[in-house]
Amino acid sequence: MNIIIFGFLLFTLIYGFLWLMANAKSETFSTFFRLSTIITAIVIIAGLFIAGKYLFSLPFFAILSGAIKKRLLNIFNIIYLYRLISTILFYSRARPNQNFSNSYKEVNNAYSILGLSRNCTKKEIIEAHRKLIKEEHPDKKGSTEKASKINRARDILLKIHR
Protein backbone atom coordinates (compact mmCIF):
# COMPACT_ATOMS: atom_id res chain seq x y z
CA MET A 1 0.00 0.00 0.00
CA ASN A 2 2.85 2.38 0.87
CA ILE A 3 4.50 1.85 -2.49
CA ILE A 4 1.27 2.81 -4.28
CA ILE A 5 1.05 6.06 -2.29
CA PHE A 6 4.74 6.78 -2.86
CA GLY A 7 4.41 6.08 -6.60
CA PHE A 8 1.36 8.34 -6.88
CA LEU A 9 3.15 11.13 -4.99
CA LEU A 10 6.23 10.81 -7.20
CA PHE A 11 4.10 10.81 -10.36
CA THR A 12 2.26 13.94 -9.18
CA LEU A 13 5.52 15.78 -8.44
CA ILE A 14 7.07 14.91 -11.80
CA TYR A 15 3.87 15.76 -13.68
CA GLY A 16 3.57 19.10 -11.86
CA PHE A 17 7.19 19.97 -12.57
CA LEU A 18 6.86 19.14 -16.26
CA TRP A 19 3.58 21.10 -16.49
CA LEU A 20 5.29 24.15 -14.94
CA MET A 21 8.17 23.88 -17.41
CA ALA A 22 5.80 23.64 -20.38
CA ASN A 23 3.67 26.65 -19.38
CA ALA A 24 6.43 29.02 -18.22
CA LYS A 25 7.90 31.90 -20.23
CA SER A 26 11.51 31.47 -21.33
CA GLU A 27 12.87 34.12 -18.92
CA THR A 28 10.86 32.76 -16.01
CA PHE A 29 11.83 29.22 -17.00
CA SER A 30 15.58 29.98 -16.99
CA THR A 31 15.38 31.64 -13.57
CA PHE A 32 13.19 28.83 -12.23
CA PHE A 33 15.47 26.18 -13.75
CA ARG A 34 18.61 27.70 -12.21
CA LEU A 35 16.94 28.07 -8.82
CA SER A 36 15.47 24.57 -8.89
CA THR A 37 18.83 23.09 -9.94
CA ILE A 38 20.59 24.75 -7.01
CA ILE A 39 17.89 23.75 -4.52
CA THR A 40 17.81 20.18 -5.86
CA ALA A 41 21.59 19.91 -5.59
CA ILE A 42 21.52 21.17 -1.99
CA VAL A 43 18.74 18.73 -1.06
CA ILE A 44 20.58 15.82 -2.70
CA ILE A 45 23.85 16.73 -0.96
CA ALA A 46 22.11 16.98 2.40
CA GLY A 47 20.29 13.70 1.80
CA LEU A 48 23.49 11.88 0.83
CA PHE A 49 25.31 13.33 3.82
CA ILE A 50 22.62 12.14 6.23
CA ALA A 51 22.32 8.75 4.51
CA GLY A 52 26.10 8.31 4.43
CA LYS A 53 26.39 9.10 8.09
CA TYR A 54 24.07 6.22 8.91
CA LEU A 55 25.22 3.84 6.19
CA PHE A 56 28.86 4.09 7.20
CA SER A 57 28.06 3.62 10.86
CA LEU A 58 25.72 0.64 10.44
CA PRO A 59 28.39 -1.92 9.45
CA PHE A 60 30.54 -0.84 12.37
CA PHE A 61 27.70 -1.32 14.83
CA ALA A 62 26.73 -4.64 13.23
CA ILE A 63 30.25 -5.99 13.63
CA LEU A 64 30.50 -4.59 17.14
CA SER A 65 27.19 -6.12 18.24
CA GLY A 66 28.18 -9.46 16.71
CA ALA A 67 31.46 -9.37 18.59
CA ILE A 68 29.73 -8.56 21.85
CA LYS A 69 27.26 -11.40 21.32
CA LYS A 70 30.08 -13.85 20.79
CA ARG A 71 31.95 -12.42 23.77
CA LEU A 72 34.98 -11.59 21.68
CA LEU A 73 35.47 -8.29 23.46
CA ASN A 74 36.54 -9.75 26.75
CA ILE A 75 39.33 -8.16 28.79
CA PHE A 76 42.08 -10.32 27.27
CA ASN A 77 41.16 -9.49 23.70
CA ILE A 78 40.84 -5.80 24.52
CA ILE A 79 44.36 -5.83 26.00
CA TYR A 80 45.66 -7.76 22.99
CA LEU A 81 43.96 -5.31 20.61
CA TYR A 82 45.40 -2.33 22.51
CA ARG A 83 48.91 -3.79 22.33
CA LEU A 84 48.51 -4.54 18.62
CA ILE A 85 47.31 -1.01 17.82
CA SER A 86 50.04 0.60 19.93
CA THR A 87 52.71 -1.53 18.22
CA ILE A 88 51.41 -0.61 14.78
CA LEU A 89 51.34 3.07 15.72
CA PHE A 90 54.86 2.87 17.16
CA TYR A 91 56.31 1.39 13.98
CA SER A 92 54.35 3.71 11.71
CA ARG A 93 55.69 6.72 13.61
CA ALA A 94 59.22 5.35 13.64
CA ARG A 95 59.18 4.60 9.91
CA PRO A 96 56.47 6.64 8.17
CA ASN A 97 56.60 4.81 4.83
CA GLN A 98 57.77 1.51 3.43
CA ASN A 99 60.79 3.03 1.70
CA PHE A 100 62.84 3.07 4.85
CA SER A 101 65.73 5.47 4.69
CA ASN A 102 68.98 3.61 5.16
CA SER A 103 71.70 4.90 7.40
CA TYR A 104 75.23 5.54 6.19
CA LYS A 105 76.42 2.51 8.13
CA GLU A 106 73.84 0.21 6.49
CA VAL A 107 74.83 1.41 3.02
CA ASN A 108 78.54 0.88 3.68
CA ASN A 109 77.76 -2.54 5.13
CA ALA A 110 75.76 -3.41 2.00
CA TYR A 111 78.69 -2.42 -0.24
CA SER A 112 81.08 -4.54 1.83
CA ILE A 113 78.75 -7.58 1.87
CA LEU A 114 78.49 -7.56 -1.92
CA GLY A 115 82.15 -6.56 -2.32
CA LEU A 116 81.44 -3.52 -4.47
CA SER A 117 82.72 0.04 -4.63
CA ARG A 118 80.49 3.08 -4.19
CA ASN A 119 80.57 3.94 -7.89
CA CYS A 120 79.17 0.59 -9.07
CA THR A 121 76.28 0.23 -11.49
CA LYS A 122 72.94 -1.49 -11.12
CA LYS A 123 74.13 -4.32 -13.35
CA GLU A 124 77.20 -4.89 -11.15
CA ILE A 125 74.98 -5.05 -8.05
CA ILE A 126 72.77 -7.68 -9.66
CA GLU A 127 75.78 -9.73 -10.85
CA ALA A 128 77.48 -9.58 -7.43
CA HIS A 129 74.25 -10.62 -5.74
CA ARG A 130 73.75 -13.50 -8.18
CA LYS A 131 77.33 -14.74 -7.65
CA LEU A 132 77.15 -14.57 -3.85
CA ILE A 133 73.67 -16.05 -3.56
CA LYS A 134 74.77 -19.07 -5.64
CA GLU A 135 77.44 -19.80 -3.03
CA GLU A 136 75.40 -19.02 0.09
CA HIS A 137 71.92 -20.20 -0.91
CA PRO A 138 70.24 -22.26 1.85
CA ASP A 139 69.36 -25.01 -0.65
CA LYS A 140 73.07 -25.50 -1.35
CA LYS A 141 74.03 -25.90 2.32
CA GLY A 142 74.51 -22.19 2.79
CA SER A 143 73.39 -20.14 5.76
CA THR A 144 69.92 -18.60 5.68
CA GLU A 145 71.25 -15.72 7.75
CA LYS A 146 74.01 -15.00 5.25
CA ALA A 147 71.57 -15.29 2.32
CA SER A 148 69.17 -12.84 3.96
CA LYS A 149 72.04 -10.39 4.54
CA ILE A 150 72.99 -10.64 0.87
CA ASN A 151 69.39 -10.06 -0.21
CA ARG A 152 69.03 -7.09 2.16
CA ALA A 153 72.28 -5.59 0.85
CA ARG A 154 71.03 -5.97 -2.73
CA ASP A 155 67.72 -4.29 -1.84
CA ILE A 156 69.45 -1.35 -0.14
CA LEU A 157 71.82 -0.76 -3.04
CA LEU A 158 69.14 -1.13 -5.71
CA LYS A 159 67.10 1.57 -3.97
CA ILE A 160 70.09 3.88 -4.20
CA HIS A 161 71.08 2.97 -7.80
CA ARG A 162 67.70 3.26 -9.54
- Please give the backbone phi and psi of residue 118, each rounded to the nearest 5 degrees, phi first: -70, -20
Average pLDDT over residues 109-138: 89
Domain range summary for the chain, segments of one domain joined by +: 2-94, 104-160
Sorted by sequence, the CB contacts under 8 Å of residue 121 that are 6+ apart come out as 161
Comparison of pLDDT for 95 and 113, the residue scoring more: 113
Sorted by sequence, the CB contacts under 8 Å of residue 157 that are 6+ apart come out as 107, 110, 111, 114, 116, 120, 125
- Confidence at 154, pLDDT banded by 50, 70, 90: very high
Comparison of pLDDT for 100 and 157, the residue scoring more: 157
Q: Using one digit for the tens of pLDDT, what is the confidence trace for 49-91?
A: 777 666 666 666 666 666 666 665 566 777 777 787 887 777 6
Decide if 114 contacts 153 (C-beta within 8 A): yes
pLDDT recorded at residue 108: 87
Q: How many angstroms separate the most distant Cα atoms in the chain?
A: 91
Average pLDDT over residues 111-134: 90
Q: Using one digit for the tens of pLDDT, what is the confidence trace for 8-50?
A: 888 998 898 888 778 878 777 778 778 888 888 898 888 877 7
3-state SS, 41-110, equals HHHHHHHHHHHHHHHHHHHHHHHHHHHHHCCCCCHHHHHHHHHHHHHHHHHHHHCCCCCCCCCHHHHHHH
pLDDT recorded at residue 127: 92
Q: Is the overall model pTM greater than 0.75, yes or no? A: no
**Correct CATH for 104-160 of 1.10.340.70, 1.10.10.10, 1.10.287.110, 3.40.50.300:** 1.10.287.110
Picking from 158, 39, 31, the residue whose alpha carbon sits closest to that of residue 107 is 158
pLDDT recorded at residue 20: 78
